[in-house]
Amino acid sequence: MGQVAERVRRLATGRWFLLALLFALLVFVDYRHVGLTRIADQRGGDVLLKFNTSRRPPSDRVVVIDIDQRSLEMMNDLAGSWPWPRSVHGELIDYVTQQDPRGVAFDILFNEADIYRPEHDAAFADAVARHPNVWLAMTLNEDGEGAWVSQMPAAVGAQSARNPPVDARVPLMMPLVVAPEAMRGGLINFTSDSDGVGRHHSLYRERSGWRFPSLAARMLRDLGHPLPPDREILLNWRSGWKHVSFADVYLDALRERPLRPRDEFKDKLIVVGTAAPGLLDLRLTPLASTYPGVQILATALDNLDRGDWLREVPRSAVMPFALALIALVAIGLARNVSANRIGYVLLAITVAAIAVGALALANGVFVPIFGPLAFGWTFYFLGSALAYFEERNQRLRTSGMFKRFLDPRVVTSLIETGEIDHRNSAESREVSVLFSDIRGFTSLSEVSSAEDVVALLNGYFSQQVQVIFRHSGTLDKFIGDAIMAFWGAPVATANHAEQAVAAALDMSAALEALRGQLGALGAELEIGIGIHSGRAVVGFIGSNDRLDYTVIGDTVNLASRIEGLTKGIARVLVSEATREAAGDAFEWRDCGSHKVKGREAPVRLFEPTRRT
């Protein structure tokens, strides 16, 4: 039986191993080719990014001059409705640059000339030309033929990436309102991940063999600041920015005595742009679904200037973590560890992993931990579901088996408490074994029809089994017209001998009632019952295809021999071991010692009766 159980355990382990191997293959394919769990890393990382951002103070290096709703309203009398004459921006440049900022970047496109107000364009172009620390925005369109790169002004900053064709054309929207030598600037194209959320900033974009820098990268490169070699960086967001209303700055420029501090912009990186909802420069980011584009540019400038953008751990580096989680769950399931316990362990690992991820993020490192956690939890839920259905089928199988031997209500209770399981190995137990055989059955068969005999046996067996179940006995089998039952298993009980003897006496009383119902047909009906108590091997015994819950051993053989000795002595006989185990629960008549086949020493037998 131990070998059978070991084979079952090996099959179960092999099944979980194969499932884990399949998931490991999925992990490899996902991390090397597909990237399905990237969304888990992205969305889970967004939660950590929000938490990390709330702890980062506003930048002290970047100032946003915001064309906000207040500016649109206040400037209406001075400059009219948006878009304002470009001379307004020129005046702002002249005023702000008096405070010696490190640089001014416009997150506004100046790619089309104002045909109705050319003098204003000229004033703006003159201001840009006079101040070399002003950079303008450009965008690289997806469609369109565009201009020849070879004819673009050098100030645009296009760089050869890899043997570009001499006739390359690129749809680059340049600041055409200024002189060619003043077209300093870079791209403000929005960089979105696979889910449409902007988390990265592209330092440059390539088209037709040419490389075009971002506005932030171009500005810092021109200022002599080293840039990372990467194509893009993961933005390390801040909780807010120093916002100055465009209208306030512009009105100060018109006053003889400005209201704002004269050194407000000294040594600062200034970004001019709009956060006004009506101007629609809003983007989807981890922080908000309507995040101002000017603040994205400010974030990129701040990160590059400080060198504190987030360093990303490659997804391939955390693949072993995903494999380890799958292996952990598979080992637990293979060892029949409770799914709840596995879940608690996995939950603890998840909490610890998220804590490590948050700590790493606070130190400038983004670890994509949520993909492995997604794989681990998916494998756990799938494995738990399979284990549940397997356990359910095993319970049904075990229930079906034991209902042949025990009261169905007892079976349900024992299975729910886990006290019986067909997977358990056979074991040695202290039990009491009962054999009951019908006397006079041959004569009864000769004078009765086969139908009457079958009906008689069915009624007799049903009646006797009810008695056995009522006394918490386990029905082992029917052997022709004999019954074999035992007590002390599957649940060990200290009073198994007393239960067996009480059942035997009730079986005898039930026979008397049956004989009265049969009249003359039952006059010759008699039974003999033998009981012996001792150690025996109990459990599911048999082949892989056929298992029976039974008891084997010398105790069983002696109980059968005692039943054979009942004829001419008493209807119920028990061994001395059963008499001692049952104690004073009954009165006993000593029936002497008798020779038993297979034993050299005689066996002392007793007839039990109920106490009066």
Residue listed under structure tokens 């296009």: 158
Residue 160 sits in the same domain as residue 30? no
551 lies in some domain: yes
Is the pLDDT confidence value at 403 over 70?
no
Give the model confidence (pLDDT) of 301-359 as tens digits: 999 999 999 999 999 999 999 999 999 998 988 888 888 999 999 999 999 999 999 99
Residue 137 sits in the same domain as residue 263? yes
Taking residues 574-594, report their average pLDDT: 93
Question: Please, is 572 exposed, middle or buried when counting C-beta atoms within 10 Å of its C-beta (0-12, 13-18, 19+)?
Answer: buried
Backbone dihedral region for residue 35 (phi beyond 0: left; psi -120 to 50: alpha; all else: beta) = left
How far is Cα 114 from Cα 175, in angstroms, rounded to an integer?
12
Question: Please, is 548 exposed, middle or buried when counting C-beta atoms within 10 Å of its C-beta (0-12, 13-18, 19+)?
Answer: middle
Overall domain count for the chain: 3
Residue 284 sits in the same domain as residue 411? no
End-of-domain residue from the set 274, 304, 334: 304
CA angle 242/188/284 to nearest 5° reads 70
317 lies in some domain: no
CB-based contact 386:16 (threshold 8 Å): no
**What is the reported pLDDT for 401?**
53
**Rg of the chain, C-alpha, whole Å:** 45
Residue listed under structure tokens 């150690």: 535
How far is Cα 601 from Cα 596, in angstroms, rounded to an integer?
8
Residue 449 sits in the same domain as residue 395? no
Taking residues 361-373, report their average pLDDT: 95
**What is the reported pLDDT for 453?**
75
How far is Cα 272 from Cα 66, in angstroms, rounded to an integer?
6
SS percent in the chain: helix, strand, coil, step 5: 50, 20, 30
**What is the reported pLDDT for 439?**
80
136 lies in some domain: yes
Residue 297 sits in the same domain as residue 329? no
**What is the reported pLDDT for 598?**
78
Nearest Cα to Cα of residue 40 among 32, 30, 50: 30
Residue 423 sits in the same domain as residue 339? no
In 10 A of CB 177, how many CB atoms?
A: 22
Task: Give CA separation, 485 vs 170, 433, 503, 511, 552, in Å.
Answer: 93, 6, 10, 17, 12
506 lies in some domain: yes
Residue 241 sits in the same domain as residue 167? yes
In 10 A of CB 202, how many CB atoms?
A: 21
End-of-domain residue from the set 354, 382, 399: 399
CATH assignment of the domain containing 547: 3.30.70.1230
Average pLDDT, the chain: 87
How far is Cα 245 from Cα 69, in angstroms, rounded to an integer?
9
Residue 361 sits in the same domain as residue 453? no
Q: Please enumerate in sequence order all residues whose Cβ is within 8 A of that of 22, keeping only pairs 6 or more positions apart, or say none.
A: none
Q: Which two tokens stand for residue 419?
A: 């006290």
pLDDT range class, residue 442, cuts 50, 70, 90: low
Handedness of CA 546, 549, 555, 561 (dihedral sign): negative
Residue 443 sits in the same domain as residue 464? yes
pLDDT range class, residue 51, cuts 50, 70, 90: very high
Residue 463 sits in the same domain as residue 589? yes
pTM of this prediction?
0.68
CB-based contact 563:528 (threshold 8 Å): yes
CA atoms within 13 Å, Cβ hemisphere of 387: 23
Q: Please enumerate in sequence order all residues whose Cβ is within 8 A of that of 17, keeping only pairs 6 or more positions apart, or say none.
A: 330, 334
Q: Which of 27-41, 120-134, 150-164, 381-395 has the lowest mean pLDDT?
A: 381-395
Q: Which of 54-58, 267-271, 402-406 has the lowest mean pLDDT?
A: 402-406
pLDDT range class, residue 568, cuts 50, 70, 90: confident
The strand pair at 204-207 and 210-213 is best described as: antiparallel
End-of-domain residue from the set 345, 380, 399: 399
Residue 276 sits in the same domain as residue 385? no
| Strand ranges (E), 481-525 | 482-487
Residue 482 per-residue DSSP state: E
Give the model confidence (pLDDT) of 168-215 as tens digits: 899 999 999 999 999 999 999 999 998 899 999 999 999 988 999 999
In 10 A of CB 605, how many CB atoms?
A: 25
Residue 14 per-residue DSSP state: H
43 lies in some domain: no
427 lies in some domain: yes
51 lies in some domain: no
- Measured in whole angstroms, the distance separating CA 208 from the mean position of its chain's CA atoms is 45
Residue 378 sits in the same domain as residue 430? no
CB-based contact 329:342 (threshold 8 Å): yes
Most distant pair of Cα atoms in the chain: their distance: 135
Q: Which two tokens stand for residue 412?
A: 């349900």
Is the pLDDT confidence value at 7 over 90?
no
65 lies in some domain: yes
CA angle 600/602/606 to nearest 5° reads 150
Give the model confidence (pLDDT) of 471-517 as tens digits: 988 888 888 889 999 999 887 889 999 999 999 999 999 888 877 77
Is the pLDDT confidence value at 125 over 90?
yes
Structural domain range at position 161: 56-304
